[in-house]
Amino acid sequence: MSDKICLLCAPTAEHLLWSDPFCRVIWVDDADYPGFCRVILNAHVKEMTDLPPLERQRLMDVVFAVEAAVREVAKPDKINLASLGNLVPHVHWHVIPRWEADRCFPDAIWAAARRDGQVPVVAGMAALVEQRLRELLPV
């Protein structure tokens, strides 16, 4: 990657929920979208198709485990999965719980807000998601 430092290769102050040598799951501290997590490949790879098929499947297994854990704990109306990488060209997935009453629903969370947004917050949500990930993704 040119002369820029990849923010996902050199992370700082991440709230790590789960990791293994292949990838990690971090908690995104976003009051508007409690339960928002990011699954980050631990290698600097730009596109999913740059990964061999078994590694693609391994990464998606983690994404789906995060989706399942967040759904179980947060009980959102919908989950959004996004892999953009326009600003940080490093494979990573956003797992975003959505509620019909959130700021931007039904638009993407990066769209202009439609309302103030009131979403339910589960006490100790990050710890509950972390615990469930340990059950779903034994290392």
Tell me what pLDDT residue 4 has.
75
Separation of alpha carbons 79 and 99, rounded Å: 9
**Domain tally for the chain?**
1
pLDDT value for 73 = 97
Domain membership flag for residue 10 = no
Considering the domain boundaries, does residue 61 fall inside one?
yes
Question: In this structure, is residue 91 part of a structural domain?
Answer: yes
Note the pLDDT of residue 63: 98
Q: Flag whether 3 is in a domain.
A: no
Those residues of the chain that have pLDDT short of 70 are 1-3
4 falls within a domain = no
Q: How far apart are CA 54 and CA 75, in angstroms?
A: 30
Q: What is the pLDDT of residue 1?
A: 43
What pLDDT is attached to residue 116?
93
Give domain status of residue 1, yes or no: no
Angstrom CA distances, 107 to 80, 85, 87, 98, 110, stand at 11, 19, 20, 10, 8
Specify the pLDDT at position 44. 95
Is 108 inside a domain boundary?
Answer: yes
Q: Can you give the CATH number for the domain in which 41 is found?
A: 3.30.428.10
Domain-located, residue 22: yes
Which tens digit of pLDDT belongs to each residue from 8-45? 998 788 999 999 999 999 999 999 999 999 999 999 99
For 138, the 3-state DSSP assignment is: coil
* Domain that includes residue 103, residue range: 15-136
